Amino acid sequence: MNYQHKNLAAGHWYQQSFIEQMANIGSEVERALNWQTKHNATYCQRAFERSLELLNLTLEDTKGYPRLKELCRLREALLDYFFGTNQFKLTEQSIRKYFLNFIYAARKHY
């Protein structure tokens, strides 16, 4: 597989805590939302693909088992929001709010 985040895919990702992983995923989703707001579909798609790559790495992480259901539902909901019919009725604000908690928690840790 051709990873955008080669260093993370090589093993560094698994050394991060779940909160740090989710904050990084949230950063890429934020970028996708920002590009979507600016009506730049190409950059939006690229940012979202990077967020999916990170989410998939988190799903592959063995310590993520207790959170597997949440991560799978998150992946499904984000795919539906960006490329589907938005059956989960997500909004830009609700997505930002979900990830903002992880971003604050990760920053507080440092």
Higher pLDDT, 10 or 72: 72
| Dmax (CA) of the chain | 38
Tokens at 9, concatenated: 């895919």
Q: pLDDT, tens digit, for every residue of 26-84?
A: 999 999 999 999 999 999 999 999 999 999 999 887 666 778 889 999 999 999 999 99
Tokens at 90, concatenated: 């997500």
The pLDDT value recorded for residue 50 is: 94
The pLDDT value recorded for residue 3 is: 54
Closest among 73, 69, 90, 70 to 81, alpha carbons compared: 90
Q: Is the Cβ–Cβ distance between 23 and 102 less than 8 Å?
A: yes
* Domain assignments of the chain as residue spans, ordered by start: 18-109
What's the whole-model pTM score?
Answer: 0.86
User: In this structure, what is the dihedral angle of CA atoms 66, 70, 71, 77, given to the nearest 10 degrees?
Assistant: 170
